[in-house]
Amino acid sequence: MAKKKGLGRGITNFIEDSEKVEEILKDSKKEDLLNISLDKITPNKEQARKFFDEKKLLELSESIKEYGILQPLVLRKDGDSFLIIAGERRYRAAKKAGLKEVPALIKEVSKEDADKISLIENIQRQDLNPIEEAIGYKSVMKEYDLTQEELSQAVGKSRQYIGNTIRILKLDERVIKFLEEGSLTTSHAKILLSIKDKEKQYIEALRIIESGSSVKDTEYRINKKRDKKEKKLDIFLEDARRNLSDILGTKVEFKGNGKIKKIEIEYYSEEDLSRICETILRSED
């Protein structure tokens, strides 16, 4: 899959272009402002923001009722309608306030510049929640066929930070909801990733929220549980190894990590191997 044309000049140039995109948004005159009907405005489906705090939207809505929209939306003509480049939160609050139209700047930008504006809106805003940020990174990587390393260079974050942020999307859906609402921190979420069972993830997330457990306490609690489980497993394996050694009359070791493991049985001569084989086969009779 070839990289999208918008980033064809390379990541370094793209970083420099970020400043040019900001200039595009700011380079407007008063006469450029138009009042656009809300019915003709469509949110951008590629927008990273999926969760809008209802309380804050209502607060903004009340402010709009009293003072109007202080910062115009930035739109792009899309057939008979207009696509939001910047300002979806203002758009939603304006609808709640009962406005029929809003002040907007219509930008006649190329698809390439529109893509860059969208990318900056998606992943470089400070007010995205962790899930929105993760969705933004993932969608940009897919859209432009970027590696984590290339994206990390473009946005000035470490590759590890990008990878860990995207991994959050693997959490249980209920835990993801807590993150979107702000009930759970990103640091807590990253610790919860070490719990593979999603039901247990959710239960632990509830416990963190209800108890107000700190990140340090949560990490200690989860690691303690894991150590206890591993200790039980080690006792079982050691007992099994010792029993096999006694039955076979030779040294036995369990080896390997992950899904594939091995049993290693030592023998010291052909006669010794024959004896061990006879012992094993006799046990199957």
Task: Evaluate whether residue 130 is within a structural domain.
Answer: no
Q: What is the pTM of this model?
A: 0.56
Q: Are residues 48 and 101 in the same domain?
A: yes
Full domain range(s) for residue 257: 239-284
164, part of any domain = no
- Same domain (yes/no): 23, 116: yes
pLDDT in tens, 119-142: 666 566 666 788 888 887 887 777
96 located within any domain: yes
What is the per-residue pLDDT for 105?
86
Q: 95 with 14, same domain?
A: yes
Tell me whether strands 73-78 and 81-86 are parallel, antiparallel or unpaired: antiparallel
Neighbours of 8 (CB within 10 A): 12
Q: Where are the beta strands (DSSP E) in 79-180?
A: 81-86, 101-106
Could you tell me if 17 and 113 lie in one domain?
A: yes
Q: Which of 46, 88, 112, 143 is catalytic?
A: 88
- pLDDT, residue 37, reads 92
Indicate if 196 and 269 belong to the same structural domain. Answer: no
Calculate what percentage of the chain has a pLDDT beyond 90: 10
pLDDT per residue as tens digits for the range 229-254: 655 556 777 777 777 877 877 888 87
The answer to whether residues 116 and 13 belong to one domain is yes
The question of whether 16 is a catalytic residue gets the answer no
Nearest to 90 by CA among 59, 46, 111: 59
**Are both 192 and 93 inside the same structural domain?**
no
Q: How many domains does one find in the chain?
A: 3
How many angstroms separate the CA atoms of 71 and 200, rounded? 45
Please tell me which residue, 232 or 66, carries the higher pLDDT value.
Answer: 66
Tell whether 197 and 265 lie within a shared domain: no
Q: What is the mean pLDDT of the chain?
A: 77
